[in-house]
Amino acid sequence: MVTAIASEELERRLLVELGSRVRLGGFVYPLLLAAVALQVRIPSDYFWTFWLGALLVFLGAIWRTMAANRAVNANSDWRSIREEIRVSSLLLSALVSFLSSLALAAGPRSDFSHLILFGLISWTALGCNVFAPDLSLAKAFNLVSMIPFVVWCLSVRDSFGWFSALIFGISWLFLWIAAKLANTHLKKMVRTQIQLESQADDLRNARDSAEEASRARTQFLANMSHEIRTPLNGIIGVTDLMLGTELNQEQRELVGIMSQSGNHLLVLVNDLLDLSKINAGKLKIESIEFDLRHLLEETCRPLQLQAESKALGWHLQIRKEVPRTCLGDPVRVRQVLSNLLSNALKFTDHGGVSIDVGMADGQQMRFVVEDTGIGIEAAKLQGIFEEFEQADRSTTRRFGGTGLGLAISKRLVELMGGRIGVQSSVGQGSVFWFELAISGNRS
């Protein structure tokens, strides 16, 4: 069934090709006859036959042009259109070759007769090539257009006649082979085109279903994250309340572990929720006025305590050209900064962490987080901002983490119209930076 449909489609497309080739060529036939009539004296005996035939050629050319125009957009009715093109083409060529041989037979033999004869071989050669999409038509045309001339050549019964008939015979054979080769080549091309189109369709369908599956997964993740977050907040709230009550040493330690694990889980769920929102294009970036220095101090306070507990140096520098009030999304700026600073602290055991906030140029604000930690291998740097990308398994085992923080940071920075990057060398530390176009007011 599939092969039948494919071969039908192949035939239909070959007809479209044929239609586009023969659209205007039909009008060459009346012109050819006009040239013959001008040069060869047509005796009064054949006058009406010739001109009636010429009128039929003109009407035939109109018929074929109309059929060819329909063939270019042919769908279900393509077979009948093909028949129309076949019949009109053969009628045209039969009329033209008959009338031309009549003109040759009627007039005295001249150099022009030779010219007509060999001009007609070229015309047949051209026709075989043009009709190549329909091999049956090309073959029939080859015969129909040559037979009247061969008959005329043989009827002359002299060496010119025999020689011309031989040349026609050889040409017929060559043109037959040429039409067959051209047809095979065309069929191959059209088959490849059909295959490519069907592959493109398959790929489009596969892409659509993959997108649909990804949307469903994102939606599911968003719903689940939301559903998990509510009871989790309840658990963390209760453990915090418990920590404020009277507990013995062991109970305090256990509740402390519970609270810490709950907070870890909350960070993870929040990351997943953010990522699914970003992937679904649902995360909105706000544009409100905020105090950047205040935001930096607030973000740094808890992290600075962590740095002190690890005996690490901590340095915050806000350059004087940085405006006090800025216009942007403070929640997201803080989220990116916290991600980078937490990583810097997590991956640093000696030395310290510094933050430098300045202007990259008049428009862009540049945040630089530098640490003296373990650093990242050059080979791993390229994909470090991809989801679930971690420098290596041993780092993950030692430091924990999900590989989402940097991916979220990159997407957030890009949503805010900025860019993010990193330089690092193993054992020496890393420098993470991001630039944002936060418009500000220095007063």
Binding site for ligand ADP (CB under 6 A): 339, 343-344, 347, 371, 373-376, 384, 389-391, 395-396, 401-407, 430
Task: Output the smallest distance, CB 335 to ligand ADP, in A.
Answer: 12
Cβ–Cβ < 8 Å for 348, 372: yes
Pairwise CA distance, residues 150 & 158, whole Å:
13
Nearest Cα residue to 50 out of 58, 42, 38, 60: 42
- Closer CB to ligand ADP, residue 101 or residue 339? 339
- Give me the least distance between CB of 398 and ligand ADP, in Å please: 10
Write out the two tokens for 259: 């609270």
Which of 223, 396 has the CB closer to ligand ADP? 396
Find the shortest distance in angstroms from Cβ 193 to ligand ADP: 46
**102 vs 408 by CB, closer to ligand ADP:** 408
Helix (H, G, I), strand (E, B) or coil at 439: strand
Q: How far is the CB of 268 from ligand ADP (least distance, A)?
A: 9
Look at the block and give the residue holding tokens 């987080």: 369
CB of 267 to ligand ADP, least distance (A): 9
| CB of 282 vs ligand ADP, minimal distance in Å | 21
Q: Spell out the residues 6+ positions from residue 142 whose beta carbon is closer than 8 angstroms to its own.
A: 124, 127, 128, 172, 175, 176, 179
Q: How far is the CB of 306 from ligand ADP (least distance, A)?
A: 14
The helix (H) or strand (E) run that includes residue 207 is: helix 159-243
Q: Which is nearer to ligand ADP, 63 or 367 (CB)?
A: 367
Q: Are 92 and 29 in contact (CB under 8 A)?
A: yes
CA dist 296 and 337 (Å) reads 9
Nearer to ligand ADP, 262 or 405 (CB): 405
Query: Closest CB to ligand ADP among 33 and 344?
Result: 344
**Helix (H), strand (E) at residue 318:** strand 313-318
Complex with ligand ADP: residue 74 or 391, whichever CB lies closer: 391
Do 135 and 69 contact (CB within 8 A), yes or no? no
- Smallest distance from ligand ADP to CB 395, Å: 4
Query: Between the CA of residue 432 and those of 56, 355, 356, 368, 425, what are the distances in Å?
Result: 84, 10, 11, 6, 12
**Who contacts 319 (Cβ-Cβ below 8 Å, separation ≥6)?**
356, 357, 358, 359
By beta-carbon proximity to ligand ADP, the closer residue of 20 and 396 is 396
Nearest CB to ligand ADP, comparing residues 130 and 333: 333
Residue with tokens 């017929």, as numbered in its chain: 172
Q: Concatenate the DSSP letters of all residues of 335-393 into one string.
A: HHHHHHHHHHHHT-SSSEEEEEEEESSSS-EEEEEEE-SS---HHHHTTTTSTT--S-H
Q: How far apart are CA 319 and CA 304, in angstroms?
A: 19
- In angstroms, rounded to a whole number, what is the distance separating the alpha carbons of residues 51 and 37? 9
| Nearest-approach distance from CB 381 to ligand ADP, in angstroms | 9
What are the backbone dihedrals phi and psi of residue 423, each rounded to the nearest 5 degrees, phi first?
-130, 140
CB 98, CB 53: distance < 8 Å = yes
Q: Token pair of 198, please?
A: 């069907």
Closest distance to ligand ADP from the beta carbon of 318 (Å): 21
Instruction: Kindly tell me which of 96 and 376 has the beta carbon lying closer to ligand ADP.
Output: 376
Min dist CB 412 to ligand ADP, Å, is 12
Nearer to ligand ADP, 36 or 413 (CB): 413
